[in-house]
Structure 1
């Protein structure tokens, strides 16, 4: 999986800067993996299923990046297979920046954060916006039974690369449920 990540992330400009800053030799190892095949393993699957939010990056037709927060109850981000994840896209502020960007350039990057445990997972992939009329079965997999927000569409991401990122500088933060657990444990 590291080789797939390196092929996407380590552009010529990045490699040049790594060389100048003395880290190129360390990161060159990522490029020497034995496969480009990316599969969601059990550890990654569990991490994804426990998230209640995700940051999704897209870029518009002019190349400007945009980062959107998506959230819901734990498990709103679904593991559909060992190469696909998805989520029901709930009605928001109706700007449609992320969805519009995906229609022009379907490359996305996701940041999944676990602030309490200072863990971060980055996912690169290609997104597809799906409509219930065309993909009723798939939409049924993405929807949440007890969540009342109106679903406008689904977003399915085929994963090209993942990277577990360094926990350095992640400030621990806790949800109300996580904080309540501290009080129960004491």
Structure 2
């Protein structure tokens, strides 16, 4: 956990609960540091580049929080630089809740999950929307090659803080592609045994023996 993450989220009410539960002493030192935004390291950048989905939280003008799932091929969420993330906002159900929320409050929270490795990355930032022509050239193609989707706008997020969470209670889950890769050696071995079995049966028939 970074000092900036603690500074932003350990509000006085949160600190009161930490004090009551006996964890305040451990967490107090985490907020001691410069009040400067975090910068993404190569470790975070690599994790983000592999992400096929994430959850995005915003807050509406009514005060109600809203969480939305965003997904795409690996690389659809880009690390523009060590302070900036970006992604294409594809055409959807046209409710525009997230877009409307950002008109009155630019603060966002992202949760990225890696279920097989039981890892999660939480990111706090400030988002701004723009038309697709505002996509920075340094971020690469707006839409990953071969992905059929129509971008309506782009979201660029200035990172304020992030935190790696513990693996506790994360149940491993696997995509079809991950299962296919994991089962590939097993399937190859089964195919090899089936060929060997067919060869032995053929040899037995040729020798006049009943298999």
TM-score (norm 1): 0.93
Q: Does 1:167 align with 2:164?
A: no
Q: How far apart, in 1, do the equivalents of 2:144 and 2:59 lie?
A: 28
Q: How many residues align?
A: 185
Structure 1 gaps of 5+ residues are: none
Q: What SS does the corresponding residue of 2:81 show, helix, strand or coil?
A: coil
Q: How far apart, in 1, do the equivalents of 2:38 and 2:76 lie?
A: 22
Q: How far apart, in 1, do the equivalents of 2:54 and 2:183 lie?
A: 27
Residue 180 of structure 2 aligns with which residue? Answer: 180
Q: What SS does the corresponding residue of 1:80 show, helix, strand or coil?
A: strand
Structure 2 gaps of 5+ residues are: 187-211
TM-score (norm 2): 0.83
1:37: how far off? 4.0
Q: How far apart, in 2, do the equivalents of 1:185 and 1:109 lie?
A: 39
Contact 1:86 1:142 in 2 (8 A): no
Higher relative contact order (CA 8 A, sep 6+): 1
Residue 56 of structure 1 aligns with which residue? Answer: 56
Tell me how large the CA RMSD over aligned residues is. 1.7
Find the structure with the greater CA-based Rg: 2
Q: How far apart, in 2, do the equivalents of 1:46 and 1:26 lie?
A: 30
Residue 112 of structure 1 aligns with which residue? Answer: 112
